[in-house]
Structure 1
Amino acid sequence: MSLAIPVLYGSVRTDRVGIRAARYVCDRLRDAGHTPTLVDPVEVDLPLLDRMHKEYAPGEAPDPMERLAGLYREADAFVIVSGEYNHLPPPALVNLLDHFLNAYYWRPAGIVTYSRGSFGGVRAGVHLRDMLAELGMMTTPTALAYPRVGALFDAEGAPVPTEAEGLATRFGRFETELTWVAEALRAKRAEGVPYT
């Protein structure tokens, strides 16, 4: 079953390498028959959070926010791709997430972290679980961590040949869990949700 999956990427830095992991995730989701949409804060250009989308009168939110709200309303699941800044998710990712709330309710999120170093951003992933739960999302058990991300993928997100098989195996488990939970939650949302 094809799922609509926004892939939220969190870096706006010059010469960012994490975008490679985000592209890889989008490519693998597409290969699995899903419809991923990369949400890149550089391209979206949301303002710093002043008011959440729900705090605007209908049709009065800034255009970038309205476009994302529409995308998120149709989402079956989310994938969050995060680097690690001082053991936390990057500010651009937090800002991207904080503009919305009820659009996330009763949807699963898969967490993907990365770093230039050896830890793969896992400390940011721990904080993301708490944050995403507060936003109303349920995170899947398996998270992906990509240490030394620049050595795993080329600029377009293709895995380097020596890493391709291992990356594909790990991604397969991640995608299977995300799909299973997304399909279950979609069926339950169709029956009605406890609150919105």
Structure 2
Amino acid sequence: MSRLQIIVASTRPGRVGLPVGQWVETAAAKHGGFDEVDLVDLAELDLPLMDEPNHPRLSKYTKDHTKEWAARVGAADAFVFVLAEYNHSYTAAVKNAVDYLHNEWQYKPAGLVSYGGVSAGLRSAQAFKPVLQSLKVVTLVEAVTIPFVQQFLDDDGVFVPNELIETSGNAMLDELGRWSEALKALRP
């Protein structure tokens, strides 16, 4: 049984991240490389700013929201982070969500789907990689970058990718499956 978790990093009203995340969810289900796909919308998860008294590496969580988040992340075998670019970096919500936990992230692969204007969110993805690497998350080379993301939204706000985006997504999902299986032996 393998489980992919997709994390939508933007919480701003009117954000594009949710439709992009929903596309990743559909693409992952169609791909078939994972038995389960869990879409996490950080706006819906609504974690408060880090409020745990103990360092996350101790796994001594005191709050129900942290325990639930830890169980959800711990159950995942691989991640896709859908990253907006705000002021040349990633969102505070995704940093907060990652910082809540420590051991639950370790020895799992992550694919990055970034979006924005001309930069396609690449500055966000590059800034986020060291954060993940410090938690022993293996960030993949294969990624999805979406420039001028608004052009891929239809009149109903649904994300409609072009062939290049779909091909990139499938390549990323292929690698997530490979790395997920390879890293299982390292997990406690």
TM normalised by structure 1 equals 0.85
- Alignment check: 8 A CA contact 1:7 1:80 kept: yes
Deviations 1:59-88 (A, max 9, x none): x32x32222211111111111111111111
- Alignment check: 8 A CA contact 2:59 2:103 kept: no
Distance 2:59 2:167 in 1: 44
Partner of 2:83: 82
Is residue 176 from structure 1 mapped to residue 174 from structure 2 by the alignment? yes
- Alignment check: 8 A CA contact 1:88 1:124 kept: yes
When the two structures are aligned, how many residues end up with a matched partner? 183
Change beyond 3 A, Cα 1:157–1:26: farther
- Alignment check: 8 A CA contact 1:21 1:149 kept: no
Quote how far apart the aligned CAs of 1:185 are: 0.8
Partner of 2:41: 40
Distance 2:122 2:45 in 1: 26
Q: Which runs of 5+ in 1 are unaligned?
A: none
Q: Which runs of 5+ in 2 are unaligned?
A: none
Listed as ranges, the matches of 1:93-172 within 5 Å are: 93-115=94-116, 117-154=117-154, 157-159=158-160, 163=162, 165-172=163-170
Quote how far apart the aligned CAs of 1:55 are: 5.5
Deviations 1:21-80 (A, max 9, x none): 11111111111222221111211111101325556746x32x322222111111111111
TM normalised by structure 2 equals 0.88
Letter in 1 for 2:164: G
Tell me the percent identity. Answer: 30
Letter in 1 for 2:141: P
Quote how far apart the aligned CAs of 1:16 are: 0.8
Q: CA RMSD in A?
A: 2.0
